[in-house]
Structure 1
Amino acid sequence: MPDLLHPVALVVAILADAAFGEPGWLYRRMAHPIVLIGSVIAWADRRFNRDSDTGAARRRAGRLVCATLTLLALLLGWGIQSLLLSLPGGPLWLGLLMSTLIAQHSLYTHVGDVAKAMELSGVEGGRIAVARIVGRDPEALDGAGIARAAIESLAENFSDGIVAPILWGLVLGLPGMLAYKVINTMDSMIGHKTPRHLDFGRAAAKLDDLVNLPASRLSALLIILASLTRRGADAGGAIRAVRRDARRHKSPNAGWPEAALAGALGFAIAGPRRYHGVLVADPWMNDGGRWQLTAADIRASLSLYWRACAVLGAGVLIASLS
């Protein structure tokens, strides 16, 4: 039984997050774990990323911070997991804690809000809603651009917000999930190519690419399998899009789930985007697909997304019983 505790807890985590998401009543009274992680990273950035340091010194400091915070997350996760598993019903309590590190429900809600806003308020409402989940300039987006942005966010975050933490949870339990979330949050906060973070955040960005590599490939496979269960989805199209376009994406990982989702539903997503007034000429995922997308296409993507989550959950359940 001890060997099964991680998968059993993960099954609980997946079901709890799918059913309840993030309980607002709880996080109005206490900080979300990701908020706490972000606070520590922000402190380390202020303390060790000094403007007076050379680029080499900043890179050394960034590597040290990245390694230290990752190691601390592993140790903290191991301690909490050991404590919870020593209690009656340990896998249940561990699973409920793990559910806070998975984003199935919240991702569905945020992307669904974009479709709802477009349906109720048109382009202006869609711009407001999509600005909450993507970094590109919302004023430059028309209706099709809003829909593509929401679908791209859904695909990419399926990989790094759901598949990756669950995969690392299967491998290392809570320590793996917590360490992954620390690395992913470091990348989102300091892994940017800005003057302040180009050197200091380099280690975090590279480590994030590394730990997301297996999950991105698995995400594409899950979307392909899910497309077999949805009428109108094309598993063959998903496979062709992944093989042709995934490696053309500027990110070593995001192209895999994006190409799979686009190919499965016949969409073309990614492509040229505008960030902070600068046009970025990125390649299309599923080049040649339909790019004039609507709120209905967001909802079709959400339908396929939930099926992919179900396939992932079924795989974890099988692992817990094997």
Structure 2
Amino acid sequence: MVPSRAVVPSRAVRAFGLVLGAVLDGLLADPARLHPVAGFGRAASRLENRLYRDGRAPGALHTAVLLAAVAVPAVAAERAAERAAERAAERAAERAVALTAVVTWTVLGGASLRRQGRRLGEELRADDLAAARERLPALCGRDPASLDAAGIARGAIESIAENTSDALVAPLWWGALAGLPGLVTYRAINTLDAMIGHHSPRYERFGWAAARLDDLANLLPARMCALVTCACAPVVGGSAVDAYWVMRRDGRSHPSPNAGMVEAAFAGALGLRLGGELRYPYRVEHRPELGFGRRPQGADVAAAARLSAAVSVVCVALTAAAAPVARLVTSALTARLGLGTGSGRAGSGGSGGPGRRERRR
């Protein structure tokens, strides 16, 4: 009998590519030039100039066109890799791992986020408020001119928390679940949310679809990120119990159904008080406070970056475990449903087997 090339190997290749891509992100950070996400942003801006109307329907059309533009090629690439695997498994597996790793590297943003956070923390500790204000827009969209050192530190920590989920945990989640299409489509949704999914006179209606899709795409990954953050609290001298308590108490009071859970977990883990007044160039927003500790300082930004790194390591390890766990679950279901025959290689054959269905997730 020929070993199955559809269920277990494809999952293992996917997991290995995701982990390798996360390692590349940790070592190299974002590509310095010709970043695909930046190219997507430019294309989105050009399309917006053509499609913009102040309404939900034009915004939904804008979002759908851009998501289709990235999802369809990704599905085609993954299907081509699967067909190649049936003809030359070893070489195709190597190419599939390399492709997944490169795409994962370009999609993730955890290392760049942590580097910016550490540098901003160093500037605050050196009392270089001007440099910290200049760096803050790389982390969040608040108006740095109106913020003191504590406000800059709070903005940086909240951004590190939210983007630990958005730029690392959620892409790995969707990559493990849906492969290349999951990776690139999630990143496109998140990028569109950052571009048009915020409250402003121009985007209140036009960006509605992108914002709601982003909320939906992050619903489960954000909660996993928050729980892992609680577990990692001892890395920064915090209490996992305190972090979990703050997450449960304050996480749902945040305007975002997802960011609030992660930011509250970070607040509890670091022993800080986050939230409150936020000043953006186009509005002032008052949010409930998260946590019960002191106001953030420069050193806390570096601690938040360490906590983010710990969460990243755990989530990459969970991604690596996804393939063997999926293998056990698939084997158990196959045996339970009686789909195996003698050799126990269900999914190695025709298009009706569970391996074919699994590739269509």
Q: 2:26 aligns with which of 18, 21, 25?
A: 18
Within-5 A mapping of 1:27-46? 27=33, 31-46=34-49
Unaligned runs of 5+ in 2: 1-8, 85-91, 326-361
Within-5 A mapping of 1:172-183? 172-183=178-189
Residue 237 of structure 1 corresponds to which residue in structure 2?
Answer: 242
Cα distance between partner residues in 2 of 1:225 and 1:215:
15
Matched, 1:275 2:272: no
Cα distance between partner residues in 2 of 1:199 and 1:278:
17
Matched, 1:201 2:207: yes
SS of the counterpart of 2:264? helix
How far off its partner does 1:137 sit? 1.7
Q: 1:65 aligns with which of 52, 62, 65?
A: 62
Q: Is the 8 A contact 1:225 1:311 kept in 2?
A: no
Residue 250 of structure 1 corresponds to which residue in structure 2?
Answer: 255
Distance 1:200 1:131, change over 3 A: closer
Cα distance between partner residues in 1 of 2:324 and 2:27:
22
How far off its partner does 1:120 sit? 3.3
Cα distance between partner residues in 2 of 1:74 and 1:60:
21
How far off its partner does 1:81 sit? 3.2
Letter of the structure 1 residue corresponding to residue 76 of structure 2: G
Residue 152 of structure 2 corresponds to which residue in structure 1?
Answer: 146
SS of the counterpart of 2:279? strand
Matched, 1:115 2:121: yes
How far off its partner does 1:121 sit? 4.5
Q: Render the CA deviation track for 1:181-226: whole Å, top value 9, x for unaligned.
A: 1111111112233332222221111111111111111110110121
Paired residues in the alignment total 308
Distance 1:38 1:81, change over 3 A: same
Letter of the structure 1 residue corresponding to residue 61 of structure 2: L
TM-score after normalising by structure 2? 0.81
Cα distance between partner residues in 1 of 2:39 and 2:243:
38
Unaligned runs of 5+ in 1: none
How far off its partner does 1:277 sit? 7.0
How far off its partner does 1:130 sit? 1.5
Cα distance between partner residues in 1 of 2:127 and 2:136:
13
Letter of the structure 1 residue corresponding to residue 77 of structure 2: I
CA RMSD, Structure 1 to Structure 2 (Å) = 1.8
| Deviating more after overlay: 69-78 vs 158-167 | 69-78
Matched, 1:168 2:174: yes
Q: Is the 8 A contact 1:234 1:264 kept in 2?
A: yes
Cα distance between partner residues in 1 of 2:242 and 2:294:
13
TM-score after normalising by structure 1? 0.90
How far off its partner does 1:16 sit? 1.1
How far off its partner does 1:67 sit? 2.2
Residue 314 of structure 1 corresponds to which residue in structure 2?
Answer: 317
Q: Render the CA deviation track for 1:4-43: whole Å, top value 9, x for unaligned.
A: 222121111111111221242xx1xxx2110121122112
Residue 80 of structure 1 corresponds to which residue in structure 2?
Answer: 77
SS of the counterpart of 2:138? coil
**Structure number, greater radius of gyration:** 2
Cα distance between partner residues in 2 of 1:67 and 1:277:
27
| Deviating more after overlay: 89-98 vs 8-17 | 89-98
Q: Is the 8 A contact 2:200 2:282 kept in 1?
A: no
Q: 1:188 aligns with which of 189, 194, 203?
A: 194
Matched, 1:296 2:302: no
Cα distance between partner residues in 2 of 1:211 and 1:68:
18
Letter of the structure 2 residue corresponding to residue 128 of structure 1: E
| Identical aligned residues as a percent | 34
| Deviating more after overlay: 10-19 vs 118-127 | 118-127
Cα distance between partner residues in 2 of 1:224 and 1:235:
5
Q: Render the CA deviation track for 1:154-206: whole Å, top value 9, x for unaligned.
A: 00111111111111101101101111111111111122333322222211111
SS of the counterpart of 1:233? coil
Cα distance between partner residues in 1 of 2:206 and 2:199:
10
